[in-house]
Chains A and B, each alone.
Chain A
Amino acid sequence: MRTPPTPPSSPTAAPLTRCAVDPALRHLAPEGLCRSFSLVPYAEQDGRLLVAAVDAEDLVAAHVLADRLGRPVELVAHTRAAVQDALDAAYPPLPAAAETPQQQHQRERLGQVLLRNGLVANSALQAGYVEHLTYLRDADTADTADTADHPHDAGVALGEVLVARGAIEEDALVAVLSELHDLQRVSLAHTAPTPELGGLLPLELALRARVVPVAERGTQLVLAAARPLDPATLEELRTVLGRPVALVLAAAPEVERLILGVHQLELTDVARSAVTDRPAAATGHPGRLPGHATTSWSHRALLALLALAAAGALVRRPGPALTLLAVALLLGACLVGVHRAVLTGRALRPANTPERPGSDCADAAAPLEVDDDPAVPPGRLPRYSVLVTLRRAVALPGLLAGLEAVDYPRSRLEVLLLCEESDATVREAVAQTLLPAHVRVVVVPDSHPATPAKARNLALALTRGELVTVLDEADRLDPRQLRAVAARFAADPGLACVQARLQHDVVEGSPALVAGWAAGALAVRSGLWVPAAVDAGSAVLLGESSHHVRSAVLRQLGGWDPHSQTPGAEFGVRLRRTGHRVGVVAAATWSPAPTDLRSWLRGSAARDRGLLTTALAHVRAPRRLVRDLGVRAAADLVLTTVGGLGRLVSPVLVLGAVAWVALRVGDLEPGPPAVQLLGLACLVAVLGAALGSAYLVLAGTLRLRRHDLVRSALLTPASWLLLSVAPLLPRPGASGVGRPREVCP
């Protein structure tokens, strides 16, 4: 409830001197508010707060202050010098002024027009002022402020803040801006994209200026813009187009939709092949896998020769060949086991031990509720783009509720919901839902491959955030995650990517055991492997959700590999190959555990295949891989992913082990020693993997304090045996945007 201000300039109020400012009161109001309205609280009298102000009749200032402090205030007229002096004493002056007179004029004009037309509530406008000024002031002192934070017009910037806060509609802002800038306002809601016209403007410029050609008027080209343009951009447009242009204003989502429609082919092409078309040195991508056109004949010939040699050895000298196979199997199993034990030990190191100060892993081992990097000041929070793959209409309400809970300024946050053009149900559901101002929909044109990675690549072109992260529709962010990640990036400017912890929660209706197994496996990946890899400086096999990347790095690396089944993990390898570092935060992303055994088995098998494909793709040029990663990191990559290979061949191992046991129990003719040895090797590998995996899952669940998963962790050997048949299940089709998640996160 608001407290009405008292009439200003009471003659009884004591005047302000610098030393008369009550120290307990001078920090009562935020600095941004004090400086923007040129006022400072300085004393209390009869229950009223005396506030020195340059303009004692500024009703807006009195309202805002009373509203903010929740008590009656009285503005007392003072000279600007006196107020400024008191303010400088309370808040030492910053290198640059928060707002120039011209910016103040632009801002005030926009506010006045909005108020005059009744488009905004006064309190909402004031709150917007404060937020806008905070950004302006902090951005002026921040090194990393991007141009998107500095529109040439402070009115536009304030308008953006108001729209993001839900104080005004986008249409209202466009209307006011068109009035202020004397520009025609148009609606493009029913305008179809016209590639002939739209194609005249290069995609990059169209996206940067948020402009699309919509009509010709004589020699003039009519450009629809989301916001008024500064003279330099306007001149650039004229130069590029080679003809005079006329500007009209339209709502930003409509402009964006038209840009997407006009440049659909180009955007799709970029999304599909940016990774592979650029030089490998820039993207870290090794080229496509066998089966694709980029596979060389020499590779195929080498593989064929190896297969022939193996077959020949088995036929001609079966004994030594089988013995060799058994020894290789045992050695491989031991190597993988030891490697996993080392990784686990690395991940489980207690925090803040002297041997590893400041390690990322130490942070990840800290209690879950602590991500203790210094918080980023509100004005310096980077712009964030969240890309969410939307597959099912039914998931939309839950998704929006989850996003609503995220603690991040809406004016710094944009959420792009990605849905397929062919998925009419989802598009209709989205159209019928009133989305928050910071959430917008990107309809992904149908094209091959229909994967979430390609959709994200396409949406990446439309994002304006410094940081980009990806989510699945069913994911639920820890509300503090974005701030924690921003703080991590701010604390370590060398980081290119931060992986948030991924966890499954058990939703009602899913079998507890299957859900527990899935959650346990995710706990191992997210709670052990990722922190261990970060700690070791190895390639981090990122999760398929909640990896936060600097958008510049993402663009430099060509985005995600649209052909990969595990684009997150693949991107993690490329990050390391191109010399980038990854960090972790403990703030988690929760997703529901698989609801049935079959879907979990298929998801796990798909992930194993994806990881294996990633490893194979990168290992094809081993010397380059070692040069990029170093020997240890390359070995880490191979040994981490070879577990997937183990599971793919595990049906054979299980059969071998069962046969060996049957021969022993039945007291049958055991066969040649080489065959026996192979059977024994299979048994050892199966038992080692099954029991070892149980202990690993136990370690992962204990580390994440998921005590609810302990019982299912103890039954992991059974899940391992079930997983061994997963590769035999029919493969799902490509994991498109329109289909449920096919790969474990």
Chain B
Amino acid sequence: MSATQVLGTDPVRPPVRRAATPGRGWGRVEALLTVALLGLYLGLGQWVVREVHVVGFTSLRRFADALHVVGEPLRAEQVLAADPTPLATVLTMPLTVVPGAVTSLAAVPVGSALAATGVVLALHRALGHASPGRLTHALLLLGIALNPLVLLYATSGDALLLAPALVLAAMACLDSYRRRGDLRALLLAGGALALASLADPRLVIVPLVLGAGIFLAQRRSRHPRVVAGAEGTLAALLSPTVALLALWAAVGTLLAGRPVAWLAAPGALRGPAGEGDLGAAEAWGQTVEALALAAPLVILVLVGLVVRSVRHHAPDAAVLAALLVTTCCLPALTAVVSGGAQVQVREAVLPLLVATAGAGLLLGRDATGRGGHAPKGRRLRRVAATGAVAVLLVTWPTTWHLMRTSEHQVLEAAFVRAVETGRSQEGALTPSGNRIGYGPEARTSRFLRDLDPGRRGVLVDPEVGYPVLVGTARPDWFRDHPGTAGWRAAALDPAAAGVRYLLLTADPASDRLAALHPLAAAGLDPSLRVVHRSERYVLVEPVAGAADGGWAP
């Protein structure tokens, strides 16, 4: 490939495009595939979330935030400014319009199922361009769609697949721009990358890598038009990300005094189950282990990209390879940078799996276009496709094994146990020591629904009370803005502030309200009477006229 055909340049003359969507009835195939995948993920999701209770608290937190934004649009910026994945929250908002679906958690897997379906459809389209043959096509799709990790995060309501889906869309758009000079695709790619960085702040690195690739490719060209075109391409690709991040930083600065409040929010850069410091060597070791067991395909694709980059002087292959390497290293780098977080299986493997599949398909499609129809090319392509299918299928059991045995995970082992035994995981422990389940939250929510505490009637620390809020689907009942002076005043003197109930946990370390009333959860605070108790929550009521029994200053 000549220097004028790299991503960052202005295509001088768009090459003739091969038939992109082969055969008649392609639309019907896509529709069937969409319905089948959505049905599978949604059906399995209902079982996983509602029956066996394998649901992450990050999903519930997102639903709580979405309920807040919908219920109180004028406070939306306060919620979203500190949200590390605001896009996921915004996209969750439409799922909260039916309160019954929220309280029953039926709405929880919908978003993840849609994202996963989108990813598989995008791969299906890319496969259509690569034309690997129908059986290989189907097997490759199956290899991704039914991968255990994909299944888990397509069904448990997690937003982890959203960002890879957007990056995949951006890559497809860039590919379209590279081949056809379609400016719409370039602009859409810029938008998709910006949204991806709002879905996962770490993915800011993707447009940076792409930009660097374009810049380097441009430097190799001496043609002034190529240089000028690269500047335009870079601007179109990067400006949406820069603008959105600048906007977010401005909102953070204005509201919290910290431009990167969203980045510093809990869970932004580290997994939810961090367990102390982790050395760099251990982080890299975990990464390699996760990749070797769950995404070995990346090695094949990386080799292919490097060979193509060197043999054909293809800067776009080099850029893709750089992207893959970055994606490989991202979890470990994050762990090292954030000072001690673990490398989660899902964070190491899932995005990489999607990125690898996408890059592999682009590689296969380019190989088809460049002598791929010659006998030797056809044979090579067939071997590569067969190898990819074999690796993907072999990955299922190894991934299953990794999910079952890895210590650095959230819900993987619970999912594996649930599938193997068919039993609810309520109350089970994760390998990292967290208890699984939604029962206490559901019971407390049910009690509150029966109680009807009224507007702003329940004072709670949102860091611990959000699952209960989701169970009620009534954000207006809760007073949960700890950053405001009013919240602290109400916490210190609930009766005077018109608070009817305080929702506490037994853990003062993570609950600011429990820290202010350390005796209340145990029922030892005379000014606060316990009205409901579950395994994790205690609902107390201020006693009128009682002496203050002991709040901690």
Contacts and interface: CB of A to CB of B under 8 A. Distances in A.
Interface stretch (A201-209, A561-569, A696-704): A696-704
Interface residues of B, number: 28
Given A345-B184, A665-B254, A701 B232 contact: yes
B35 interface: no
Given A350-B180, A350-B182, A699 B235 contact: no
Contacts of A699: 183, 187, 236
Nearest to B257: A665
Nearest to B190: A695
A367 B13 contact: yes
Most B C-beta atoms less than 10 A away, residue of A351, A670, A694, A710:
A710
B231 interface: yes
B326 interface: no
Contacts of A670: 74
A440 interface: no
A348 B235 contact: no
Contacts of A300: none
Interface string A350-366: 11000000000000000
A664 B254 contact: yes
A664 B183 contact: no
B247 A687 contact: yes
Contact of B184 (A349, A676, A698, A705): A349
> In terms of DSSP, what is the predominant structure of the interface of chain B?
helix
Contacts of B190: 695
B32 interface: no
Contacts of A710: 231-232, 235
B229 interface: yes
Dominant SS at the A interface? helix
Interface in A686-719: 687, 691, 694-695, 698-699, 701-703, 705, 707-708, 710-711, 713-714
Contacts of A713: 235
A483 B68 CA distance: 63
A639 interface: no
A344 B184 CA distance: 8
Interface string B403-439: 0000000000000000000000000000000000000
A348 B182 contact: yes
Contacts of A695: 187, 190, 239-240
A702 B235 CA distance: 10
Given A350-B181, A673-B74, A680-B74, A707 B243 contact: no
Interface string B140-166: 000000000000000000000000000
A676 B186 CA distance: 37
Contacts of A673: 74
Contacts of B239: 694-695, 698, 714
A670 B255 CA distance: 14
B10 interface: yes
B14 interface: yes
A580 to B, nearest CB: 29
A677 B235 contact: no
Task: Pick from A661, A698, A699, A714 the residue with the most CB of B within 10 Å.
Answer: A698
A326 to B, nearest CB: 10
A661 B235 contact: no
Nearest to A705: B10
Contact of A677 (B10, B73, B233, B254): B73
Nearest to B240: A695
B282 interface: no
B13 to A, nearest CB: 7
Given A664-B254, A695-B240, A707 B232 contact: yes
B86 to A, nearest CB: 15
B77 A702 contact: no
Contacts of A344: 184, 187
B299 interface: no
Interface in B196-253: 225, 228-229, 231-233, 235-236, 239-240, 243, 247
Contacts of A708: 228
A367 B228 CA distance: 16
Given A350-B14, A695-B187, A698-B235, A707 B228 contact: yes
Nearest to A708: B228
B235 A714 contact: yes
A707 B186 CA distance: 15
Contacts of A350: 14, 180-182
Interface in A73-124: none
A676 B75 CA distance: 10
A138 B186 CA distance: 48
A712 to B, nearest CB: 11
A707 B180 contact: no
A705 B13 CA distance: 13
Interface string A502-546: 000000000000000000000000000000000000000000000
Contacts of A707: 10, 225, 228-229, 231-232
Nearest to B247: A687
A572 B254 CA distance: 46
A702 B254 contact: no
B457 to A, nearest CB: 20
A215 B232 CA distance: 68
A680 B190 CA distance: 26
Given A698-B235, A699-B187, A714-B239, A664 B182 contact: no
Nearest to B236: A698
Contact of B236 (A661, A664, A687, A702): A702
A661 B239 CA distance: 24
A348 B13 contact: no
Contacts of A676: 74
B193 to A, nearest CB: 13
B254 A703 contact: no
Nearest to B228: A707
B12 to A, nearest CB: 8
Interface string A669-681: 0100100110010
Contacts of B235: 698, 710-711, 713-714
Among B14, B180, B184, B225, the one with the most A-chain Cβ atoms within 10 Å of its Cβ is: B184
Contacts of B228: 707-708
Interface in A297-352: 344-345, 348-351
Nearest to A702: B232
Nearest to A662: B254
A536 to B, nearest CB: 16
Contacts of A687: 247
A367 B12 CA distance: 9
Interface in A113-145: none
A677 B74 CA distance: 7
B302 to A, nearest CB: 32
B419 to A, nearest CB: 43
Contacts of B182: 348-350
A583 B59 CA distance: 53
A450 B236 CA distance: 44
Most B-side CB within 10 Å, residue of A661, A702, A713:
A702
A701 B182 CA distance: 14
A95 to B, nearest CB: 41
Nearest to B187: A699
A24 to B, nearest CB: 35
A349 B236 CA distance: 17
A680 B73 contact: yes
Interface of B: 10, 13-14, 73-74, 77, 180-184, 186-187, 190, 225, 228-229, 231-233, 235-236, 239-240, 243, 247, 254-255
6 contacts: A367-B13, A691-B243, A701-B232, A702-B233, A710-B235, A714-B239
The 3 closest A-B pairs by CB, nearest first: A707-B228, A348-B184, A348-B183
Given A345-B184, A664-B254, A699-B183, 20 more contacts: A344-B187, A348-B184, A349-B182, A367-B13, A673-B74, A676-B74, A677-B73, A687-B247, A691-B243, A691-B247, A698-B187, A699-B236, A701-B232, A702-B186, A702-B232, A705-B10, A707-B10, A707-B225, A707-B228, A707-B231
